[in-house]
Structure 1
Amino acid sequence: MKVHYECAPCFLRQAREALDLATDDEKLKLEITSQLTDLIGQRFQPNASANEIGTEMHRTIKRETGNHDPYHQERAKSNEIALKFLPQVKKILKEDPSLKNYLKAAIAGNLLDFAALGLDIDMEAMILSAMQKELTVDNSPELEEELKKGRNVLYLADNVGEIVFDKLLIEEIQKYEVKVTVALKEMPILNDACLEEARDIGLDEFADLTTIGTDSVGVVYKDVSSDFLELFFRSDMVISKGLGNYEGLTEMDLKDKPVFCLFNAKCSPIAREIGVEVGDNVVLKL
C-alpha cells in the first residue's frame, strides 16, 4: 500500500511509543527521534510504500537503543488477553461452527494490535464486540471454494495473541484436507508473532511453522527470503492476517495467486482504500 497523508503522524506516534518501551534514556530518545524525523522526511513521498518506511523506522529504534524487542511486555499482555477470552470465543463457535464464524474469530484476534491502536485501548471489550459484527467485505465463499480444491495453504500470521485465535481457524480449515504452513517473523518487530510464541501456544501441533526470513512490518518483497517466496508461489492459496501483510501484498505481483486478507480495518487509509468504515471486519480477496 502506498502512503496516505495520515501515515506520517501515525509513524511518529508509533515511534514515540516504541522509544518509550525501548529505553528510559531521554537524551537517546531525542537523538533517535531526530534520526526518525529525517528518515520520514526523506522517505515520505507520493507512491512510497507504507510498510517499507515502518520497517526501516522500527529497525532503527531497535538498532540505536540496543533493545531487540521493545514490545516484549505488550506481546506477553496480548497472549494473556487472548487466552483469557479463548473459552468465550470457543463457546460462540460451538453455537455457530460455520467457517465464516471461525474467520470472524480470527479477525477479532486481529484487534490485539498495540501498534495500530496504541497502548491505552480496552482490547477485551473490542474483541467481544468484533465477534458480534458481520463481515462488511465477505469473500468467504470464494475462500471456501479455494479450500475445497487446494492442497497447500500458506497462512501469514500477524500479532502475538492473535495467533491464539488463528489456531482455531487453522484447525477448522484442516477439515478441508489441506496442509497448512504458517509463516511468522524471523525476529521480533512490534508485537508480531515469531516461532517461539507460535510454539508456546501449540500452533505447531496443527501446522508446519516457518518464517518469512526477516523482521519486516508485514511482507516486504525485497526483504523476505527466497525460501519464503518459493513457498508463497508454490502454495495453492494464501490466507493473510493483518494490516501490515495487506500493505505488503498489495505491492507485490501475486501472479494470479488466490490471496485472502483477513483483518479489521483499524485505520482510515486502509478503510478508505477498500471502501469500508474504520472498525469494519473484512475477508478480502486480492
Structure 2
Amino acid sequence: MKVSYECGPCFLRQAREALDLSTDDEDLKMEIMGDIFKYLADNFSKGTNSNKTGSTMHKMIKQKTGCDDPYFKEKIEGNEIALKYLPDVKKILKEDDSLENYVKIAIIGNILDFGAFTLDDDIESVIKGSLKKDLAVKDIGEFENSLKKYDKVLYLVDNTGEIVFDKLLLAKIKEYGLDITIAVKSQPILNDACMKEALDAGLDEFGEIVEIGAGTVGYVDSEISDEFRQIFNNHRFIISKGMGNYEGLTEIDLSEKDIYFLLCAKCNTISRDIGVNLHDMLLFKK
C-alpha cells in the first residue's frame, strides 16, 4: 500500500517510541531523529511504499542504537497476559462455537494491545463487547468454503499477545483437516511475533512454523527469502492477520490466491483504502 499524508506523523510516533525503548542517551536520540527527518524528507512522497519506509526507519534505529529488539520486554509481557486470559476466552466460545466467533476472537486479538494491558484491566469485558459487534465485512461463507476446499493453508501471523488468540482459530481450522503452515518474522520488528514468541505461545501445536526471511513491518515482497517465496507460491489458500500484512500483500499480484484478511481497521489510511469505517472488524477475501 502507498503512504497517505497521515502516515508521516505515524512514522514519527513510531520512531519516538522505538527510540525510547532502545536507549536512554538523549543526544543519540536527537541525532537519530534528525537522520529520520532527513530520510523521510528524501523518501516520503506520493507513491512511496508504506511498509518499506517504516522498515527502513526501524532498521536505522536498531543499527544506530545497537538495540536489536527494542520491544523485547513488551513482547514477553504481551504473550504472558494473553495466555492468562486464554481460559476465559475458551469459556466464552463454549457458549457459541461458530466459525464466525473464532474469526472474531482472532480479530479481537488484533484490536487488543496486550503489551499495554495489565492483569487489573477488564480485558474480558472488552472481549465480550467486541464479540457482540458484527463484522463490517464478513466473507465467512467463502472462508468456510475455502476451509473445505483446500488441504493446506498458510497463516501469516502479526503481533505477540495476538498470536495467543490465533491459537483458537488455528484449532478450529484443524477441525477441517487442513495442514497449517504458520509464518513469523525472521528478525525482531516492533512487537511482531518471531520464532521464539510463536514457540512460547505454543503455535507449533497446530502446524509447522516457518520464517519469512526478513524482519520487516508487515510483508515486504522484495525482502522475503527464496525459501519462503517457494512456500508462499505453493499455497493457494492464505490467511493474513493485521494491517501490516494487508499493506504489503496488496502491493503484489494475488490473482491466483484465495487470500483472506483478518484485521481491525485501526487507522484512517487503511479504512479509506478498504472502504470501511475506523475500528471496523473485517474478514474479507481479496
- TM-score of the pair, normalised by structure 2: 0.94
SS in 1 for 2:111: coil
Q: Residues 42-83 of structure 1, C-alpha deviation per residue, up to 9 Å, x if partnerless?
A: 111111111110110111111110000101121122113312
Which range moves more in the overlay, 6-15 or 74-83? 74-83
Cα contact 1:265–1:279 (8 A) shared by 2:
yes
Tell whether 2:135 aligns with 1:140: no
Alignment correspondent of 1:77: 77
Tell me the amino acid that sits aligned with residue 4 of structure 2.
Answer: H
Name the counterpart of 1:228. Answer: 228
Cα-to-partner distance string for 1:74-128 (whole Å, 9 max, x where unaligned): 11221133123212211121111111100000001112448xxx96997936444
**Aligned residues: percent identity?**
52
- Secondary structure, aligned partner of 1:183: strand
Query: 2:16 and 2:227 mapped to 1: Cα distance?
Result: 34
Q: What root-mean-square deviation, in Å, do the aligned CA atoms of Structure 1 and Structure 2 show?
A: 1.7
Could you tell me whether the CA contact under 8 Å between 1:79 and 1:161 is conserved in 2?
Answer: yes
| Contact preservation (8 Å) 1:156, 1:239 | yes
Helix, strand or coil for the counterpart of 1:110?
helix
Asked if 2 retains the 8 angstrom alpha-carbon contact of 1:151 and 1:236, the reply is no
**Which residue of structure 2 aligns with residue 273 of structure 1?**
273
1:239 and 2:247 are equivalent in the alignment: no
Stretches of structure 1 that go unaligned for 5 or more consecutive residues are none
Does residue 99 (structure 1) correspond to residue 99 (structure 2)? The answer is yes
Q: Deviations over 1:196-227 (max 9, x none)?
A: 11111211111110010110111100001111
Residue 51 of structure 2 corresponds to 51
1:266 positional shift: 0.7
Change (3 A) 1:15 1:265: same
Q: Does the 8 A contact of 1:156 with 1:183 survive in 2?
A: yes
Kept in 2, the 8 Å contact 1:105–1:131? The answer is yes
* In structure 2, distance between residues paired with 1:174 and 1:208: 13
Distance 2:279 2:155 in 1: 23
| Residue 23 (structure 1) aligns with | 23
Q: 2: CA distance between counterparts of 1:257 and 1:149?
A: 13
Distance 1:120 1:98 in 2: 28
Q: Within 5 Å, which residues of 2 pair with 1:1-286?
A: 1-113=1-113, 124=123, 126-286=126-286
Q: 1:161 to 1:35 in 2, by over 3 A?
A: same
Q: Deviations over 1:6-58 (max 9, x none)?
A: 00000000100110011000000000001111111111111111111011011
**Contact between 1:180 and 1:207, CA under 8 Å: does it hold in 2?**
yes
Matched residue count: 283
Is the Cα contact below 8 Å between 2:236 and 2:256 reproduced in 1?
Answer: no
**3-state SS of paired residue (2:183):** strand
CA-to-aligned-CA distance 1:213-263 (integer Å, 9 cap, x gap):
110111100001111111112113000000000000010112320110100
CA distance in 2, matches of 1:140, 1:68: 39
For 1:198 and 1:119, locate their aligned partners in 2 and report how far apart those are by CA, in whole Å: 19
